[in-house]
Structure 1
């Protein structure tokens, strides 16, 4: 006020000039002194330990002057005003930065060691436009450039301690329009790359680009924490999927700064992973990927796999998609594509998710797409697949099959087969149907081009059937409705046929051996070798035991390396067959055949019999062999038998030959079916073109001929002739006609049997003869010459002339007996009267003179 009064007086010229100048000088000195004292004070600095102003608590206050002011504060506690009650640290900081231009003019340095605001602490330092801000969460060092409506900053360092993240770059702060941005680079313990941030203080937009890392574990931990991502989802993104190198081409996120909410649907990312391993399950080998393209859109994270392999399988063009990655119902879709076989290795992926596929492609061509949709919350797995097979080997259980082609589709819990071919040495079929994993079962329609079991056991063509599948247990079970068979595939494959009667017509072997029915179980490991149990096998039998038909038995059958072996449980029948020959063995069983059965058998069979008789049923004849062996082929047959004492040989190829030696009467009687001879020893020689044209010789020694029909009627004839009754013929007795040595020569010419000569020598009588038997007409014409009283004949033969009259040229007494009628009803007549005088037939002489020796 004094200054103003002086100025007024001057203006009114109430004071003189000298006084005025003197006052001005003194005033200036005062001002200079005052300023000097103030500057000196500021130069020295003003320190205040504690004070409070407007509710601000200040400790360790210092202000001084250098070129500009320097302000230092140890602790500054800023009260929360009502106006700024809801503002956070970032808002307060923005209020300060609005005054940055003014601060920059007056202050060289502002250094506040600790600022307490809203229970948060930070340090603040400002030096020549460089702001240094530090808090437990944030460290910032930035060059501030005031511009219209705000600031531009060159961020030398901006560290987010919670994220172990460091930023450098340029920021723009438009306070008027509330537009804030940052462009720069970031460095973390894992990721390094470019970063762009934009915000209006309500929404923060984050964009990362050209980022690279060796690991994203911590990054994913933070993302999972901030977004409430499930542990399973996080472990899939980083854990199940691991790469040597990560390259993030683009990552975009949006955050609500007021609430801290992350806009999950707005996440967007693109990247490349190199040298990637993907583990579908801990127990499985990893899928190895040279390079995988990654994209995130609408909460869906996709991995497109290039140069992917699973073990030795190429999975290029496969894809893994983790969907709804931030939601509670997140899950994963594994889409695998390969041209490799759908083998055991590939099938392990399905098994890891409890999908049991009963059929496996072990080799061949294929185009396969598999999609597994796994819900992380429920762990429910939906499976889809499409496959086309060609020229493949398919394994069901341990059984392996060939497949020309086939289509395979898996839809959630079902597999659909379309025109699926399966074939092996056993069958060839095209199959259509489905497999249900919920019930572990399936149903198919099968068209069998063929079903074949080795050695003509079974052969079907163009056979249709309905098949049911059951794989609940360890084995895979197939049931054939029309075939009546149950197949079990496992460590040991088996086929059960409860009743094979309907299959007999399809089996040449079963038809040939006359099988009518059986319960059959077949086991095999490879459908090449078989073990067969045939129980309660009923067959048209040629065998008998103790007079009863042997037509039911249990058999064990082995087929190995193409060879067949059959054996009955009681070991009475066995049969083996290989590439070289077939052998049938019979023990303690009798065999029934028919001589009239001239049907050609397409057989190559060797046979052996022990304690086995051969019955020729149509002839009512029996060969009571102790043992025999032989061979049958389409061109020939052979039999070699042993009786108790004698031997027998039959051979037929181009010619027919029969030899029997040292036969006993029992052997002859068994063969003829009646008591024809008693005691003695017999032999037979027969040779010819066939069983209709042959010649033969029978030898008999020291035997009695006692055939019921012929001998009794001959004996009756002799007893009825008085001239013979008056003679004593001891060779005709109750035992039969005694033969010390006998021969019969015969010949067959079609339906005619020619008895060329009969010569039976007894002690007191001999019989000789010849004749013809017509088999077609059942007519017999045989003439016998009976020589008797051999001792008297010898006496008379010594009397001259009389011997010629009574005995004839050979000096024997004889008679002629004619046998006529049928074979079973022969009639005997005699010509004794004239024979005594002339003996015109002289049959024995003719016999002895026959130039007939057929086996020399």
Structure 2
């Protein structure tokens, strides 16, 4: 036959042949084409046979193709016989070696079967509409009237920068069950989708290079000098806003290689179109499609933890997660019994070491909250709003936290500390940038925390606040809080926290100290926390110290000194130690409270001095100058001066008192021995740099931040 064509199915293009031989032998007709094509496919080596011609004719087509780019032609050919390969958009050299059989029976449709394989070379294709790359893939078909099996075996099959697997897939089209076993080369899902979707690389890392934006402070001065109205200043603002918007939190949610996770399996049951189910047994992952809603579950986060850097980053140990959606636009989730130790406490004093979270995600916002609504979070674009109710925050736990997300905030591995002039230039630029954003209605990238009825815990002392507002923006954190008429202001800049708290009452101080220690008065605190050392100055006025073992011990000591008894105020100690005004310059580390300068002006006693307190043991080593009656120059001849009394400024009689022991059981002695007097100061200087110099600098910084 010369140039015949054959149509085997109404849905197919004709098979064309240049020359074909028909050979009838042994009751079988052999169709032997010499050159044959189907659409763009060359079918060299293909042939067909007819047998059982008189009873139940059977047509067997032996279809062979040479490797070439055929697109979806092979798939379309098979689909005409209701053999649906889950592949499309094939852009890879492919070849086929198939046997198609048609058995013609009386009064019934022909029986169809196909056996053989389709091979794909390196290239791309889609599997169930998922775009993939593969180095090679082999699809084996075993389809008959009673069963339909498709087996797919691939090498280095990749999805973007997220998956690289050697996969073996078994698909039972009759039972509608799919199973997958794979050798893992790489599985990676990152919070930064730019990493997920970039070109594949096996080694581009678990290290998560953080692209955190920061201003180049050394080059900022020339821009500041050009003036806020200059083009170079405006361009710098625009470039900064753009860079900040591109700055992404980058951390791997899941990361595994063949060294950490050798294989992974997946089961998928789509036998019931109204309730499809899937599972990954090794990781206790499962999901379902039911009532037009997709549900995904992680039943045990412990199974994920070895492969989840983000769980390690937030020190998340265990829990479960369920996510549901009907359209992948509106998503609800529930995280249950998350085992995570946070530096926060319930109002009853119980620490948050386990919590559950509800949440939803839509195109406008992300919302997360605890069942009691004690914690709620809303994310709209680049703005994050966090609300806390009746929560206690332990600053001690926060500073000592081993959670990497917290610990890195205080890491000493940071850039060179900027000069005061560079910080001043930065302040000017940030203020101008924020004015620009407001004028042009640009929503700034910020995190805002509002806490109501919160208690801060520092050195085991509670600091209650009715309201606390924290705003993190432009690498600065601004903090404002209040308790009745008292106010607290703080700024976190370049790892240093600058604090001013003023108008606090004596009752508030008693609450902090958890004892009835002072009566009346107003208190102001100014200080800075840097490298886990707090340096500050506490000022107070019109207050009385009560129930203070050290003070009572000193009064008892004074009562034993004859030279002081002459001038003793009969009311000394009756109403506590009454202070007209006073200040204490101090520093606090984890182990020590250093008292650089004590200066108290009282109605009956003036006290000045310095010293050190070992916090864990409440151990004291203080040197105090205690002055009693003032302006005595006109009556000095009446005073029986003894060796431990000296005449101070303004005619005050002063004695040196050395204090040791503990806060609860102090031991005092009067001395003029220089080695004893100097001992506390030497210890103080060994532990702390000059605190008064630091505090003076802190005051300047606070004034500049809150102009």
User: What's the TM-score bracket when you normalise by the shorter of the two chains?
Assistant: 0.5 to 0.7
Match of 2:581 in 1: 741
Question: Are 1:460 and 2:256 matched, yes or no?
Answer: yes
Structure 1 unaligned blocks of 5 or more: 1-269, 835-839, 842-849
Match of 1:827 in 2: 667
Match of 2:432 in 1: none
Residue 597 (structure 2) aligned to one of 754, 757, 760: 757
TM-score w.r.t. structure 1 length? Answer: 0.53
Separation (CA, whole Å) in 2 of partners of 1:525 and 1:399: 19
SS of residue in 2 equivalent to 1:624: strand
Asked if 2 retains the 8 angstrom alpha-carbon contact of 1:397 and 1:476, the reply is no
The CA deviation at 1:744 is 0.9
TM-score w.r.t. structure 2 length? Answer: 0.63
Separation (CA, whole Å) in 1 of partners of 2:71 and 2:574: 91
Structure 2 unaligned blocks of 5 or more: 192-251, 411-445, 679-690, 701-707
Alignment of 1:118-157 (within 5 A): none
Separation (CA, whole Å) in 2 of partners of 1:603 and 1:655: 11
Match of 1:414 in 2: 149
Which has the greater radius of gyration?
1
Residue 329 (structure 1) aligned to one of 52, 56, 81: 56
Q: CA 1:708–1:373 in structure 2 vs 1: closer, same or farther (change >3 Å)?
A: farther
The CA deviation at 1:767 is 3.1
Question: Are 1:521 and 2:322 matched, yes or no?
Answer: yes
Asked if 2 retains the 8 angstrom alpha-carbon contact of 1:518 and 1:534, the reply is yes
Match of 2:38 in 1: 308
Asked if 1 retains the 8 angstrom alpha-carbon contact of 2:268 and 2:278, the reply is yes
Match of 2:342 in 1: 541
Match of 2:89 in 1: 362
SS of residue in 2 equivalent to 1:541: coil
Separation (CA, whole Å) in 2 of partners of 1:768 and 1:328: 121
299-308 vs 473-482, greater mean Cα deviation = 299-308
Deviations 1:623-679 (A, max 9, x none): 43421426699xx99572413231142646476644433344455445445444444
Match of 2:187 in 1: 451
Separation (CA, whole Å) in 1 of partners of 2:449 and 2:297: 32
Separation (CA, whole Å) in 2 of partners of 1:526 and 1:346: 33
Q: CA 1:654–1:517 in structure 2 vs 1: closer, same or farther (change >3 Å)?
A: closer
Match of 2:101 in 1: 373
Residue 384 (structure 1) aligned to one of 112, 115, 121: 115
Q: CA 1:764–1:726 in structure 2 vs 1: closer, same or farther (change >3 Å)?
A: closer
Residue 621 (structure 1) aligned to one of 461, 486, 489: 461
The CA deviation at 1:365 is 0.4
The CA deviation at 1:410 is 1.0
Residue 308 (structure 2) aligned to one of 501, 507, 515: 507
Match of 1:82 in 2: none
Relative to its length, the structure with more strand (as a share) is 1
Separation (CA, whole Å) in 1 of partners of 2:355 and 2:537: 42
Separation (CA, whole Å) in 2 of partners of 1:527 and 1:746: 56
Asked if 1 retains the 8 angstrom alpha-carbon contact of 2:488 and 2:499, the reply is no
Match of 2:286 in 1: 486
Alignment of 1:602-751 (within 5 A): 602=408, 608-611=449-452, 613=454, 615-616=456-457, 619-625=459-465, 626-629=467-470, 640-644=479-483, 645-649=486-490, 651=492, 653=494, 657-665=498-506, 667-687=508-528, 690-692=531-533, 695-706=535-546, 708-711=548-551, 713-714=553-554, 727-728=568-569, 730=571, 732-733=573-574, 736-747=576-587
Q: CA 1:401–1:828 in structure 2 vs 1: closer, same or farther (change >3 Å)?
A: farther
Match of 1:818 in 2: 658
Match of 2:13 in 1: 287
The CA deviation at 1:701 is 2.7
The CA deviation at 1:374 is 3.2
Deviations 1:283-317 (A, max 9, x none): xx5425566766654464859684533xxx65755
Q: CA 1:539–1:797 in structure 2 vs 1: closer, same or farther (change >3 Å)?
A: same
Separation (CA, whole Å) in 2 of partners of 1:663 and 1:598: 29
Asked if 1 retains the 8 angstrom alpha-carbon contact of 2:12 and 2:80, the reply is no
512-521 vs 816-825, greater mean Cα deviation = 816-825
Asked if 2 retains the 8 angstrom alpha-carbon contact of 1:341 and 1:362, the reply is no
Which of 1 and 2 has higher RCO (CA within 8 Å, sep 6+)? 2
Instruction: Indicate the RMSD between aligned Cα atoms, in angstroms.
Output: 5.1
Alignment of 1:103-114 (within 5 A): none
The CA deviation at 1:592 is 3.2
Deviations 1:479-498 (A, max 9, x none): 32212223568998764322
How many positions carry a matched residue from both structures? Answer: 554
Q: CA 1:621–1:576 in structure 2 vs 1: closer, same or farther (change >3 Å)?
A: same
The CA deviation at 1:416 is 2.3
Deviations 1:103-161 (A, max 9, x none): xxxxxxxxxxxxxxxxxxxxxxxxxxxxxxxxxxxxxxxxxxxxxxxxxxxxxxxxxxx
Separation (CA, whole Å) in 1 of partners of 2:605 and 2:560: 18
Alignment of 1:102-251 (within 5 A): none
